[in-house]
Amino acid sequence: GNSVTQMEGPVTLSEEAFLTINCTYTATGYPSLFWYVQYPGEGLQLLLKATKADDKGSNKGFEATYRKETTSFHLEKGSVQVSDSAVYFCALSDRRQAGTALIFGKGTTLSVSS
């Protein structure tokens, strides 16, 4: 079945450091891929998405490229801020199926200090 694997956290960085959060997926079809972010006490917010191979999603300085050959969708940011501290979830949805069910990774907690 479909699944998503994320690197275990927590990830602790200093402000302005480079961020990478690894995400790999298993899917029999051609999924759409997403990164969501969750701040304390809130629901999930879509950070970026990619719907086909080699697509690059980007938003607020974050980027991720859909790599079909390595089945990966790693999240990167060149210079993190304290306000980026949150839990990040990688997710996929199977486009072969009707509907929009998302399969999530376990989440990676990012803590950025000034």
Partner 1 sequence: KAGVTQTPRYLIKTRGQQVTLSCSPISGHRSVSWYQQTPGQGLQFLFEYFSETQRNKGNFPGRFSGRQFSNSRSEMNVSTLELGDSALYLCASSLDSSNQPQHFGDGTRLSIL
Minimum separation from the CB atom of position 77 to partner 1 (A)? 19
Could you give the CA distance from residue 25 to residue 42 in angstroms, rounded to a whole number? 26
| Minimum CB distance to partner 1 smaller for 7 or for 17 | 7
Minimum separation from the CB atom of position 101 to partner 1 (A)? 5
Query: Residue written as tokens 């376990």?
Result: 106
**Binding residues vs partner 1 (CB under 8 A):** 31-32, 34, 36, 41-46, 49, 51, 89, 91, 93-95, 97-107
Minimum separation from the CB atom of position 47 to partner 1 (A)? 10
Alpha helices in 25-87 (DSSP H): none
